[in-house]
Amino acid sequence: MAGHSKWANIKHKKAKSDEKRGKEFTKIAREITIAVRTGGGGDPDANPKLKLAIQKAKAINMPNDNINRAIKKGTGELESEVLEEIVYEGYAPGGVAVMLEIATDNRNRTASEIRHYFSKNNGNLGESGCVAWMFNRVGLISISRENVSMDEEEFMLKALELGAEDVRDEGEQYDIVTSVDTFMEIKENLEKEGFIIDEADIVLLPENTVEINDVEVASRIIKLIEMLEDHDDVQNVYTNMSLTDEVVEKLS
């Protein structure tokens, strides 16, 4: 969920090639390994971070062997590279803020490559803290409007009763915002109530967005985002970009 912009909705409709799927598996495997090391061990029932990572792995049909191997790398039962978690910050064209979550075994190589990507696409990799203040780390749960039988007000009240901090009408879907601490509990409670969840994750959500109404600028930003998302060490890309309906239509 790259900032959960309208572009994310376009992107999700694109068919994934085998190469893309392989990279997705690699990134989720790294997320599982890191979750084991930093979230409290290899038992998903005692490690919410790992539980979420496994759910994401299963959502993309990642084989159980891959999941178990990633867990064993985290517990030390299997040998693995030493991964370092880093956050990079910068600006894309149009003044759009970009946040990157990185998992790398070579900080210098990764920094050099990411800087090159920004430079090549008329952006700038900035100093730590340059855009972080624009984002909040929250839980974000998306449910398609077509999967909600109750009316909008009733649904929003139900989500708030279950502990949500905010519910946003995003047209084709509802976005439920939670605190990081209550995220898993609210997600599970929504599922118990019978709601079908499209996406759920801990994300960096922008406080305010930058509206892009120029197709050329939007194309340059999207090219940069796609390059960053395709990089092996980049786990997640978040932006505060908002595309106008006219731009979305021209892009799609």
pLDDT along the chain (252 residues), means of 10: 45 56 88 91 92 92 95 91 92 96 95 96 94 95 90 92 92 92 94 92 92 93 93 94 88 80
Query: In the chain, which segments carry CATH 1.10.10.200?
Result: 15-75
**pTM (whole model) above 0.75:** yes
| Predicted local distance difference test score (pLDDT) of residue 16 | 55
| Predicted local distance difference test score (pLDDT) of residue 39 | 80
| Predicted local distance difference test score (pLDDT) of residue 19 | 66
Other beta carbons less than 10 A from residue 96's beta carbon: 27
Report H helices in the chain.
Answer: 6-13, 18-39, 48-59, 64-75, 107-120, 152-161, 183-192, 215-230, 245-251
Query: In the chain, which segments carry CATH 3.30.70.980?
Result: 1-14+83-252
CATH number belonging to the domain at 15-75, selected among 2.60.40.10, 1.10.10.200, 1.10.10.10, 3.30.230.10? 1.10.10.200
Label residues 49-63 b or e (16+ Cβ within 10 Å = b): bbbbbbebbeeeebe
**1-14+83-252 maps to CATH 3.30.70.980:** yes
> Which tokens in the block code for residue 192?
């118990």
